[in-house]
Amino acid sequence: MLDERKLKILAAVVDEYIVTGEPVSSKTIASMHNIKVSPATVRNDMAMLEQLGYLEQPHTSAGRIPTYSAYRLYIEKLMPQRQLTPEEKSRLDRAVDEVEVPTEDALTESASKALAELTNCTVVASNASPQFSLITKVEVIPTGRRMYVLLMITSSGSIKNKVCRLEFDLSDEQLKFFSGYVTENLSGMPVEHISDSVLDKLAEAMGAYMVTLSPLLKGVSDLAKGFRGGDVHLEGERNLLARKDLSPDEALRFIEEKDRLTMLLDDSFSSLQVLFGEDGNFIVSNSSVIMSPIRRGGKTLGSLGIIGPLRLNYAKVIPYIEYLTQRITEAISEDEPPAVGMMPDAEDNDEKK
């Protein structure tokens, strides 16, 4: 039913439409070097492709445009398989290699910037699963009268802080006790497990200190909440808003409600995934979202991808995304698993240059 030529024609229509954004006519297709038949034949095939749901006409006397099915088929089978050029490769490598401290977060951030720049699209980075984000350390630092900065660090490399004001000044011992005790008890724990009940137990165990320190515990709880709920971060929002083929209203809404994206992503998808802004979902109409996972030890820690117009240069962009996520995946697994609850004590290290 879908013989070679029809597929070739379909691919040509998609290619052409991606470039021009105009409905594609049989004449245009027939004039291509790799198509050796007349416009009339192309028309017949196009009519067939339309019946099969791959093409549609805005109106009777117009050319054809691809349907979502066409894009899906195109991405899966039809599009030209491109290799990254050495220049592209080195540009992408740079984004990964220049990161000083290769945590998941830092790598993703640097990669996002590069990707946004190279594709002129908006980059989407999701920290899919807070259950894989473990608490590494909790620290309290005095900063002025009765003011304390509470610091929480997670295994993915995120740091959040919060200023707490207490009723009392705390002694050095108290501070040390608190951070030591909390770190010891919480480190290695997934952020999303920090519930009020966990903290209540902690408070009980602290006994005498409790009254004094409870505002700090409250702070810990607030910080943990801040980490929870898969973050979705966008880079280069302007690229989305600036596109004239996307509705600014919808784009704005997407940016505001970006967190809802996590729900649309297959819970622990293990390879590249493409979503379209169709009917019901909240993705901008006429846009596509391409996401690729960042994995470690069989688990999907997060994902990186882009949102762009439906008529996107998939053949160019997809290899970028695949390469970057692969490099990041490598980078975080070749690094030793992040230390958990480590509290370096006063051991003298040799200091060779």
Site residues (CB under 8 A) for a second copy? 100-101, 103, 106, 136-137, 139, 141-145, 147, 149, 151, 153, 157, 159, 161, 163-165, 168-173, 211-212, 238, 241-242, 248-249, 252, 255-256, 336, 338-339, 342-349, 351, 353
Binding site for DNA (CB under 7 A): 5, 22-23, 25-28, 36-41, 43-44, 46-47, 50, 57-64
Residue 264 binds which entry of DNA, a second copy, none, CB below 5-8 Å type-dependent: none
Burial of residue 196 (CB within 10 Å: 0-12, 13-18, 19+) is exposed
Q: Which is nearer to a second copy, 84 or 151 (CB)?
A: 151
The rounded distance, in Å, linking the Cα atoms of 64 and 106 is 44
Angle, vertex CA 295, rays to CA 292 and CA 300, nearest 5: 80
Question: Is the dihedral angle over the CA atoms 200, 204, 206, 212 positive or is it negative?
Answer: positive
Q: Which is nearer to DNA, 58 or 337 (CB)?
A: 58
Residue 25 binds which entry of a second copy, DNA, none, CB below 5-8 Å type-dependent: DNA
Residue 44 binds which entry of DNA, a second copy, none, CB below 5-8 Å type-dependent: DNA
Residue 348 binds which entry of DNA, a second copy, none, CB below 5-8 Å type-dependent: a second copy
Distances (CA, A) of 186 to 11, 133, 182, 281: 54, 12, 6, 38
The rounded distance, in Å, linking the Cα atoms of 57 and 59 is 5
Q: Which is nearer to a second copy, 76 or 249 (CB)?
A: 249
Three-state DSSP class for residue 341: coil
Query: 337: which DSSP letter?
Result: P
Query: 52: which DSSP letter?
Result: T
Residue 43 binds which entry of DNA, a second copy, none, CB below 5-8 Å type-dependent: DNA
Question: What minimum distance in Å lies between the beta carbon of 56 and a second copy?
Answer: 29
The rounded distance, in Å, linking the Cα atoms of 17 and 23 is 7
Question: What minimum distance in Å lies between the beta carbon of 43 and a second copy?
Answer: 40
Residue 336 binds which entry of a second copy, DNA, none, CB below 5-8 Å type-dependent: a second copy
Question: What minimum distance in Å lies between the beta carbon of 250 and DNA?
Answer: 21
CB-CB contact of 24 with 64 (8 Å): yes
Q: Which is nearer to DNA, 29 or 128 (CB)?
A: 29
Question: What minimum distance in Å lies between the beta carbon of 327 and DNA?
Answer: 42
| Chain position carrying tokens 């882009």 | 306
Question: What minimum distance in Å lies between the beta carbon of 258 and a second copy?
Answer: 13
Residue 64 binds which entry of DNA, a second copy, none, CB below 5-8 Å type-dependent: DNA
The rounded distance, in Å, linking the Cα atoms of 89 and 86 is 5
Burial of residue 80 (CB within 10 Å: 0-12, 13-18, 19+) is exposed
Q: Which two tokens stand for residue 208?
A: 């005498």
